[in-house]
Amino acid sequence: MDLDVFVMTHRAEWDRLDSLLRRGRGLTGAEADELVALYQRTATHLSLIQSSSPDPMITARLTQLVARARALVTGTRRASWKDAVRFLTAGFPAAVYRSRHWWIPTAVLSTLLAAVIGWWIGTHPEVQAAIAAPEQLRELTRPGGQYETYYSSHPAASFAAQVWTNNAWAAAMCLVFGAFLCVPVLWILFINMANLGIGIGLMSSAGRLDTFLGLVVPHGLLELTAVFVAAGTGLRLGWTLIDPGPMSRRAALAQQGRAAIGMAIGLALVLFVSGVIEGFVTPSGLPTWARITIGIIAELAFLAYVYVLGGRAARAGGTGDVEASERSAEVPTAA
């Protein structure tokens, strides 16, 4: 395609569309019909130029024209409570369900890594000595020591809020950093599993592993599941850059990125629940079996939510992406 000839042929239409857009909503019926027709033609022109003869200046102008025209033609859609209900009952669980092939292996491998680190530290005194001095290790692991008092060192409400903020930030970093070819996500996972493994190793060497698990399991099941989901989603996002599949790399990344944004919102709610458990249940005077039971119930409820509601929504075509009407038009790619 000769770009100069194409621009000369259609410049008048683009100028006319720009003129109509400047007048906004004060158009006659005939002018409104003309605007819609010009909007459709200009969108086609933009696709042709991007797929065959991309020019930055022309593309930028037509992209702006198409965006302005679309906003005027379709109007501004306001979110409602129905959107929130749809997101919580279909969009978010469908996104988690569809990414299960990423976060379930992530969860299994990460848990094994934490167990191996814990075993290594617990069975090698020289490794423990490299972590801290013997007096410090005793202070950490003794009855009433730092591992136990950590969960009751602050008022429950403020502690829950602090835990929620920290965990939500870690999950968000996993989602965002996935776009950097997965490497930062793996590092975040390693740090989290290393910290868990250190606790397992030190408390098991002191003969108090049951106490440690009694403190970690109630909130840790749901909390770590949320982190694994975020990490798996981040890894999937990073892999999209490497292998976008049948879609263009830009379109595939946009689709996965939109789903990841929704995932971040949903996981923030999940982590809020785990933060409440960590702030109010973990340090409570409930017997260990009762605290662990609460954690298991919360975990099973989340998994049922994902596999029942999410599975149903995914089978119905849900992806966690925004509605088709709200997406930007995809540009055809040249073969």
Question: Residue 1's pLDDT band (boundaries 50, 70, 90)?
Answer: low
* 148: exposed, middle or buried (Cβ count in 10 Å: 0-12, 13-18, 19+): buried
- Burial track 225-237 (b if 16+ CB lie within 10 A, e otherwise): bbbbbbbbbbbbb
Residue 54, pLDDT above cutoff 50 = yes
Long-range CB pairs of 40-46 (<8 Å, 24+ gap) are 41/10, 41/13, 42/13, 42/14, 42/17, 42/66, 42/69, 43/329, 45/6, 45/10, 45/14, 46/331
Contact call for residues 159 and 278 (beta carbons, < 8 A):
yes
d(CA 201, CA 43): 61
Q: What percent of the chain has pLDDT over 70?
A: 89
Q: What is the DSSP letter of 328?
A: P
pLDDT (0 to 100) of residue 333: 46
Residue 235 is encoded by which pair of tokens? 């890894």
What secondary structure, in 3-state letters, does 161-181 show? HHHHHHHHHHHHHHHHHCCCC
Q: How far is C-alpha 21 from the geometric centre of its chain's CA atoms?
A: 37
In degrees and rounded to multiples of 5, residue 294 shows phi and psi of: -60, -45
Question: Residue 293's pLDDT band (boundaries 50, 70, 90)?
Answer: very high
Tens digit of each residue's pLDDT (9 = 90 or more) over 72-124: 877 655 556 787 888 888 889 999 999 999 999 999 999 999 999 999 999 99
Tell me the average pLDDT across 180-203.
Answer: 87
Tell me the average pLDDT across 256-264.
Answer: 78
